[in-house]
Structure 1
Amino acid sequence: MEKHAVCIPFPAQGHIRPMLNLAQILHSRFDFHITFVNAQHIQNTLFQSQPPSTNSSTNTNTTFIFESIPEGVDDPENLLSVIDSILTHRRMELPLRELLSELCSKDDPLNPPRGPMHRLPRPPVTCMITDVVMTMFALDVADNMGIPAVVLETASACGSICYLHLRELFEKGIIPLPEANCLTNGYLETEIDLISSLRGLRLKDMPTQLRTTDPDDMMLNAAISCTLNAIKSKAILINTFDSLDQDVLEELKTIISPNICSIGPLHLLAKDIDPTSDDTNLAIGSIFSSKNEDNECIIKWLDLQEPSSVLYVSFGTIAVINQEQLVEFAWGLANSQHKFLWVVRSDLVRGGEASSINVPIEFEKEIKGRSLLVSWCDQERVLAHPSVGGFLTHCGWNSTIESISSGKPMICCPFIAEQVTNSWYICNVLGIGMKMSEDLKRGEVERVVKELMEGMKGKEMKKKAMELRNLAIEATMSPYGSSFVNLENLVNDVYNTAHTRKYVKFSTCMPETSK
């Protein structure tokens, strides 16, 4: 029996990237057929400038296929609208059922497959891998059709265990916040004693979805519901490694029944896959690297710098600041007198023009010749470069695990969701980061940059970060590494389960959902 995984990421880059890494690993290392199901607008965006071989209708490699399903919203780039569609209306459920029905059914002259599917023969589906957000409908589809399902949790282990306890905090009346001034009156300093592996954690260190007074808040309820759905799956996969999060992983295993599998860092597991081995791998490698020429210029600039002399600065793909914060932050970097590489997205400033960012002319003159501002870079390559000595980050988990894998200490500037939990964990448990105040004032920015790049604390954090880097490599770069073994065991388990289950053909009788 051939192995065939259907992968369903949430339509945001921070969720697609690890799912794509996992799919590529399963495809190249474990001989899986892959059907990668994007939301329609993501499919259009990712492949509008990509080689024709990436498209399911023209791809000659039938073992890794990209498909798409509609989001069911007017503005698919509005993530809140997409989440509402997934959480409340489940508008992506029917298209997914139809797609899976075709993938699971044998040739039937009375029921020919739609679209290009007749050109792409694939074995029956062995398992579904769904993003934790997509569990709102995907797990029901898998269960109804007899398909084993596992969940990819794109948050950190510490973020995951916090999400798991939101319902208990809700039931105890701790959240939602009793009143609006709880944001400023010290209420968020309340210590959480529910998580033994995260001693000293406060409400302010929990995911920001809890910072609401509305019990019907969509984001709070989405966080609770997605977690409760995830624990119904066969396994939960986390992009981490055993020695990084041992205490948290052990606690997770004692409080929920699904198998908890640490299978990261995924980008390291995928590192040695030859991108030129076939059309699909080549296309995958180019999906998030459409600006390769610009990136080569960045790498050449880094090549000219002294070892560990450059601070890499990036706030990820979603975080926004206002113009005043931009100016203060920029001058803080400049006043530190350290070299930096700063990714300044065109939409970084809230309410600003989408096509440009306005930094003071005096600032540009001050940093000329010693720093670089760019709109995009290949973050994995930049963090791995020996000239980079530290990372000022929003603490998204992809960025965090990439920084750890490269042995880079961090300045933590979290914005939303479990980024604040990651920041607390980086600083208080791992000891490889320092927290920067939220107002982004120039004096504070200058202080933390100097401390990281030249201070004693920065040197200590660098040493610890390098130790964790070595452990990350150990977990992924050999067949005996913990993450490789965990993934191999999961593959065998899912494969054996698939032998014992029967697929249920799609029916037009849908469960009742909100309209």
Structure 2
Amino acid sequence: MAGLRRVVMFPFPFRSHIAPMLQLAELLCERGLAVTVIHTTFNAPDAARHPELTFVRMNECLPDDVADPGADLVEQMLELNDACAAPFREALEWVARRGQAGRRGEVACAVIDGQWYAAIAAAAEVGVPVLALRTDSSATLNFMLNYSRLYSDGYLPIKEEKRDEVVPPVNPLRGRDMIRVDGSDAERVREFIARVDKATRTSAIGVVVNTFQAIEELEISNIQRQLLGRPVFAVGPMHRMIRAPEEHGLHAPDLGCVAWLHAHPPRSVLYVSLGSVARIDRAVFDEMAWGLAGSGVPTLWVVRPASITGCDDAPLLPQGLTDILVDGRVKVVTWAPQRDVLAHPAVGGFWTHCGWNSTLESICEGVPMLAQPCFGDQTVNARYVTHQWGIGLEFGPVFDRARVAEAVRTLMVGEEGAVLREKARGLKAIASQCVAEGGAAGAAMDRLVHFMLSFCVLT
């Protein structure tokens, strides 16, 4: 390892953040860089799956409520930043010192998840050039960098009568699409976004985004303008560029569901998954179940343990719906190998929370979406899916079993669904061109590596 240039990486300890950070680490290794991943003990990544990476565990001390599955998400992120800034700084300094001794490779820079605002500032203070990795979309980062302006110009807080109006500074987003976390204090949400904004503007030398220029060109340009010309590297979709297997995180996938798909005709199955973190009310879950039953569409449904508010176990289907399991039309699993599922020819639609990883994976397989955003950036992504790219439908403000069944049938067997499917296939072709040899994603990665190698840490 001596003589290699080393990149230090620090993922935020949520599955949806860890996966793209490790994808980027794999891509950097393929280009000749050594990578050290500093990580929390909380939700630690599986080091055994990545033997080419060096893992350094921090010894953070977290408040008890941080690990609670029902914790307030915004408070959780704020507390993680408070608790992990000092341990991260200590770990980063240790890695940098070892590199200077020539034993593990000289540190070129750090790549830190954009939600770690405290760690981004700490790395800059130590003297390590730091890039912020955004595991969300460029549209989301553009919104966050405009957040203070939206308040000063009176667009925020959202006025009820303007929820359906487009907000010009972040067009095509409407008032209802603004980032929110239901149940969290609005001022704490504002505080968190302001801290992320400040760290990105004052401490990061550039931004890496898991997206591709063809779908977010204007948003990338807006971010560069906000950051006064600092580079924005659109290196996605990264999951299509790596050889490493899918990261399954905290839940073991039911591999039998792929075999179940084999028995179905092309584009006949609806895949339903609301991601690894989102929790919904029991009433919403029941309406989903009855709506799926009423649609008549074959369904593969991920029902994650603790995904229902107030229930730490796997939720049971409403009484009277066991017949849909008996006849095999709906298969319920606790987790699925999502990329394999979306790539399966039997899958014709994806009912999704519109997390960015899921959105990208669906785009790359040409699968149209039913959007049910739950919190955070998901409302932003849902708006782009349904309005900007025209590859999905959104549920209206009224969510009941009849409307669920209607939306499912529209997507899967209706004429409108056929149009969405055709547009989705078009985006898939663009994504495939992007990751092909000589494509835009590889060129962006090459530019990123060249940029990283232009720095030298002198601490």
**Structure 1 length-normalised TM:** 0.82
Partner residue, 2:447: 489
Residue correspondence of structure 1 range 287-366 to structure 2 within 5 A: 288=249, 291=252, 294-295=254-255, 297-352=256-311, 354-366=312-324
Q: Deviations over 1:231-282 (max 9, x none)?
A: 3311111111111112222232233222111110110111x35x6xxxxxxx
What is the CA-CA distance between 1:488 and the residue it aligns to? Answer: 0.9
Residue 231 (structure 1) aligns with: 201
Give CA deviations for 1:416-439 in whole Å, capped at 9, x if unaligned. Answer: 112111111111110000111254
Q: In the TM superposition, what is the alpha-carbon distance from 1:220 to its structure 2 partner? A: 1.8
Aligned residue in 1 for 2:435? 476
SS at match of 1:437: coil
2:115 aligns with 133
2:91 to 75, 93, 99: 99
Q: CA deviation at 1:63?
A: 4.6
The Cα of 1:149 is off from its aligned counterpart by: 0.8
The CA distance in 1 between the partners of 2:167 and 2:100, in whole Å, is 57
Alignment match, 2:129 = 148
Matched, 1:189 2:164: yes
| CA shift in 2, pair 1:225/1:211, >3 Å | farther
Deviations 1:481-504 (A, max 9, x none): 111111111111110122xx412x
Deviation of the 1:101 alpha carbon: 1.7
Q: 1:155 to 1:287 in 2, by over 3 A?
A: closer
Look up the match of 1:263: 235
**Which residue of structure 2 aligns with residue 208 of structure 1?**
180
SS of equivalent to 2:275:
coil
Q: 1:18 and 2:14 equivalent? A: no
User: How far does residue 289 in structure 1 lie from its aligned partner after superposition?
Assistant: 8.3
Q: Is the 8 A contact 2:155 2:167 kept in 1?
A: no
2:157 is matched with which residue?
176
Partner of 1:325, secondary structure, is helix
CA distance in 1, matches of 2:291, 2:147: 37
1:251 alignment partner in structure 2: 222
Q: What CA distance in whole angstroms lies between the structure 2 residues aligned with 1:411 and 1:128? A: 37
The verdict on how the C-alpha distance between 1:106 and 1:152 changes in structure 2, with shifts beyond 3 A counting, is closer
Q: 1:121 to 1:298 in 2, by over 3 A?
A: farther
Match of 1:508 in 2: none
Q: Which moved more, 1:306-315 or 1:469-478?
A: 469-478
SS of structure 1 residue aligned to 2:453: helix
Pick one of 64, 71, 75 that aligns with 2:54. 64
TM-score normalized with structure 2 length:
0.91
Distance 1:440 1:4, change over 3 A: same
Q: Quote the residue 1:164 is aligned against.
A: 145
Measure how far apart 1:450 and its partner are: 0.6
Contiguous gaps of at least 5 residues in structure 2: none
Secondary structure of 2:373's aligned partner: coil
State the alpha-carbon separation in 2 of the partners of residues 149 and 446 from structure 1: 48
Contact 2:74 2:192 in 1 (8 A): no
Task: Assess, with a 3 A threshold, how the Cα gap between structure 1 residues 138 and 460 changes in structure 2: closer, same or farther.
Answer: same
**By how many angstroms is 1:2 displaced?**
1.4
- 2:301 is paired with a residue of what secondary structure? strand
Higher Rg: 1
Contact 2:114 2:200 in 1 (8 A): yes
Q: Secondary structure at the match of 1:363?
A: coil
Matched AA of 1:34: V
Match of 1:443 in 2: 402
| Superposition CA RMSD, Å | 2.5
Q: Work out the number of aligned pairs and report it.
A: 450
CA distance 1:64–1:477, shift in 2 (3 Å): farther
8 A contact 2:307–2:314 mirrored in 1 = no
One of 66, 72, 76 as aligned partner of 1:82:
76
Check 1:289–1:379 CA distance in 2 against 1; reply closer, same or farther (3 A cut). Answer: farther
SS in 2 for 1:6: strand
Does the Cα contact within 8 Å between 1:436 and 1:448 map onto a contact in 2? yes
Give identity over the alignment, percent: 27
Aligned counterparts of 1:321 and 1:8: Cα–Cα separation in 2 = 30
What code does the residue aligned with 1:122 have?
Answer: R
Give the match for residue 36 of structure 1: 37
- Alpha-carbon distance in structure 1 between the residues aligned to 2:379 and 2:53: 39
Between the aligned partners of 1:260 and 1:385, the Cα distance in structure 2 is 33
Instruction: Report if aligned partners of 1:268, 1:477 keep a CA contact under 8 Å in 2.
Output: no
Q: Relative to structure 1, is the Cα distance of residues 213 and 41 closer, same or farther in structure 2, using a 3 angstrom cutoff? A: closer
Q: Secondary structure of 2:9's match? A: strand
Give me the whole-angstrom Cα distance separating, in 2, the residues matched to 1:262 and 1:240: 5
**Counterpart code for 2:206:** A
1:336-387 deviation line (CA, Å, top 9, x unaligned): 11101000112121112x2231213421203422220000011111111111
The alignment partner of 2:169 has SS state of coil
Instruction: Give the Cα separation in 2 of the matches to 1:403 and 1:35.
Output: 30
